[in-house]
């Protein structure tokens, strides 16, 4: 996705307007900007920081759930493969008889 425009804050850091664009900022960086807002008593962009923090935290939680799901499905797949292998062995034994 192409980024159309950015909201620029005093620290020259941009918050993407399009949710598909990722700026590469860490949660700690966003929290540090929030601390700077409080330190300077300049709350003009605190709403944007809260939104960015919430967006990134939601993406992190979503990714953790996907990893958990992938792990579960891989384990299930391996168990099913083992079961198929065992059934094929039993089938071969029945054919021999």
Of the given ranges (19-23, 38-42, 85-89), which has the lowest mean pLDDT?
Answer: 19-23
Average pLDDT of span 15-40: 78
Q: Which two tokens stand for residue 93?
A: 């034994």
pLDDT band at 51 (very low <50, low <70, confident <90, very high): very high
Domain boundaries in the chain?
6-96
Q: Evaluate whether 84 touches 62 at the Cβ level (below 8 Å).
A: no
Overall average pLDDT of the 29-35 stretch: 94
Position 22 scores a pLDDT of 54
95: enclosing H helix or E strand: helix 46-96
Q: Is the pLDDT of residue 71 over 80?
A: yes
How much is the pTM? Answer: 0.57
CA quadruple 75, 79, 81, 85: dihedral, nearest 10:
160
Pick the more confident residue, 67 or 15: 67
Residue 3 neighbours by CB under 8 Å, 6+ apart? 16, 17, 18, 21
């Amino acid at each position: 996705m192409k980024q159309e425009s950015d909201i620029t804050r005093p620290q020259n850091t941009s918050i993407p307007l399009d949710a598909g664009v990722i700026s590469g900022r860490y949660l700690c960086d966003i929290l540090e900007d929030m601390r700077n807002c409080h330190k300077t008593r300049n709350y003009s962009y605190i709403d944007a920081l809260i939104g960015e923090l919430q967006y990134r935290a939601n993406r992190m939680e979503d990714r953790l759930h996907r990893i958990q799901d992938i792990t579960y499905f891989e384990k299930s797949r391996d168990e099913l493969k083992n079961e198929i292998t065992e059934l094929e062995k039993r089938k071969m034994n029945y054919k021999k008889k």
